[in-house]
Amino acid sequence: MKKLYIFDMGGVLCCDFNDIPIISDYLEITEENFFIYSGENFRKLLDGKINSNEFWVRFSLRYGKKVKEELF
């Protein structure tokens, strides 16, 4: 049996799911601070210009702590 994994970055398949509140709670920051730390990198991630690993590396630099997990 083969397994299929579908990643829905950018809300192509499911447009009403917002994981930012859950991620913000996990990181113990506000949603506003999540977007401050994300800067332009969140848009780059959604546009496919950077991958999620690169996003978290860049996010971690602004956040001041290394995010080791894949939170999306």
pLDDT tens-digit series, residues 2-51:
888 776 665 666 666 688 999 999 999 999 999 999 999 999 998 999 99
The residue type of 16 is D
Distance in Å from the first CA to the final CA of the chain: 26
pTM above 0.85, yes or no: no
Tokens of 10: 């950018």
| Reduced 3-state DSSP string for the chain | CCCCCCCCCCCCCCCCCCCHHHHHHHHCCCHHHHHHHHCCHHHHHHCCCCCHHHHHHHHHHHHCCCCCCCCC
Residue with tokens 């546009």: 47
- pLDDT of 35 reads 97
The residue type of 9 is M
pLDDT tens-digit series, residues 52-70:
999 999 999 999 999 999 9
